A = this chain, B = another copy of it.
Amino acid sequence: MASRLLASAPDFETAFEAFLATKREVSEDVDQAVRAIIATVRHDGDAALIEYTKRFDRADLEQLGLCVSAEDIRSAYDYADADTVEALRFAHQRILSHHSRQMPKDDFYTDNLGVELGSRWSAVDAVGLYVPGGTASYPSSVLMNAVPAKVAGVKRLVMVVPSPEGFINPLVLIAADIAGVDEIYRVGGAQAVAALAYGTQTIAPVHKIVGPGNAYVAAAKRQVFGKVGIDMIAGPSEILVIADDKNDPDWIAADLLSQAEHDTAAQSILITDAPAFADAVAQAVERQLATLSREATARASWNEFGAIILVDDFEKALPLADRIAAEHVEIATDNADNLAAKLRHAGAIFIGRHTPEVIGDYVGGSNHVLPTARSARFSSGLSVLDFVKRSSVLKLGPEQLRALGPAAIALAKAEGLDAHARSVAVRLNL
C-alpha cells in the first residue's frame, strides 16, 4: 500500500519533509571498476571493446562486427511489426515538428555607442547516443534523443547499444534509421562511453554524450565529463497526478501504474481533495496490478514509494507540487489550465482528463527525457538547446574603444591586472 498524508494534519509538515527526503536509489559505487575500464579502452582501443563485450554481453564482435551495417538495419525491418514501424514514423514526425520550434536564433545588433554585439549558435559537431540493451532498450527513447540532435544540425550522430547474446532490438535499429543516426556500434557499458569520449581505431571520438544507462554508464559519463559534454544523469521516473473525484478511478490508477511499472524505484503520487476518490483509486490500483506483466516491479514501486496526499482544495496542492518538482505532473481537475499556469517546478505538465502522461512518452511531440529527483527546480528536459552552443561576438571601432576603454582600464587596475589595462591603454595612447 502507498503511504497516505493528510495536508490538514498537525504533523503534515514533518511527514511531508520526510517524504521529500526519501532516497529511492542506492547509488552503487562502481567508480573504481569504471576507471579501469576507461583506462583499458584508451590504451587498447577496439581490442578492449571486443574483450569487454565478450565478457559482459556474451557476444563475439569479431564475428558480428563492431559496426552495425546498412544490411543489418534493412533486415531489422523484416523482424518488425508493420503497425509498430508506422507508429514510430508517426511519433518521429510529431517529435520533429515540436523540436523544430526550439532552434535558438542568432542575435546581432549595434548598440547606442556603435558597439556591434552578437550571439551566434552552432551545432555540436559530433554526438554520442547511449542506448541501453535488454528490457530498457526503448525505441521511443532513441527518437527522443536523436531528433533534437538532428534538428540542431549535429552532423555526426553516433549510437552505441549493447547486444546481449548478440541480440539488438530491431525496433531500436529502425528508430535510429528513421531518426537519421549516422553510425551504430554494438557496444555498451562504460566501455562504450570510453570509446565515444576517447575514440578507438574504429570509433572516432565525439564531443558530447547523451542517453540513459545503468550505474556503470552513469559513472563513466561523470568521469569523462569535461573531456566531453554530457546530459543530465537520469534517475528513476516519477509522476504526480492532481485529480478530483470527477475522474474515473480506473483512468487515474492506470496513470499511476504507468510510472510504477518502469522501475521499483519509480514513484507515483496522487493529490486529491476527495477521500472516497482516493480510496477508489487505491482499490483500482490493486485490481490493475494483478493484470500487469510487470506486476512485481509496479507493486514494489507503489508499495514502497507510492503516496496519496489529501488536500482541502487544489490551490493548496500547488506549493506541495512545487516542492515535489516531479518529472511528470498530470492535472485532471476543473480549471486545470488555471492550476497548470501557476505550477512553477515540473518537467512536463499534462492538462485535463484526456491527456494521460503516456501520450507524452510517445507521440505528444515534446521530449520524454525529463528532470527527475526534484531537479525540475533547476533543470529542463532534453531539447535542441542541448545540442547547440553559443559564441558571443564583439566588434569595436576606434571610437567605441575610446568610449568603453577608460572604464575597462579602471576595473583592470582595481583588479591588479596590469596587462589587461595595458592592452586597452596601448590602443588609446594612454
Q: Cβ of A351 and Cβ of B393 under 8 Å apart?
A: yes
Q: Could you tell me the distance between the alpha carbons of A140 and B397 in the complex, rounded to whole angstroms?
A: 23
A403 to chain B, nearest CB (A): 9
Shortest Cβ distance from A336 into B: residue: B395
Partner of A401, one of B97, B102, B359, B413: B359
Chain A positions 84 through 118: 1 when the CB is less than 8 Å from some CB of chain B, otherwise 0: 10111011001001100110100101010001110
Q: In this assembly, does A238 line the interface, its C-beta being within 8 Å of a C-beta of chain B?
A: no
Q: Cβ of A115 and Cβ of B389 under 8 Å apart?
A: no
Q: Cβ of A411 and Cβ of B139 under 8 Å apart?
A: yes
Given A381-B392, A394-B355: A418 and B87 within 8 A (CB)?
Answer: no
Chain A positions 357 through 371: 1 when the CB is less than 8 Å from some CB of chain B, otherwise 0: 111111111110011
Q: Cβ of B355 and Cβ of A91 under 8 Å apart?
A: no
Partner of A404, one of B86, B139, B359, B422: B359
Q: Could you tell me the distance between the alpha carbons of A83 and B408 in the complex, rounded to whole angstroms?
A: 11
A380 to chain B, nearest CB (A): 4
Chain A interface bracket (under 10, 10 to 19, 20 to 34, 35 or more): 35 or more
Q: Cβ of A394 and Cβ of B417 under 8 Å apart?
A: no
Q: Cβ of B375 and Cβ of A229 under 8 Å apart?
A: yes
Residues from chain B with a CB closer than 8 A to the CB of A98 are 117
Q: In this assembly, does A356 line the interface, its C-beta being within 8 Å of a C-beta of chain B?
A: yes
Q: Cβ of A351 and Cβ of B394 under 8 Å apart?
A: yes
A-B contact pairs, 5 of them (CB 8 A): A87-B411, A262-B417, A294-B416, A362-B407, A381-B392
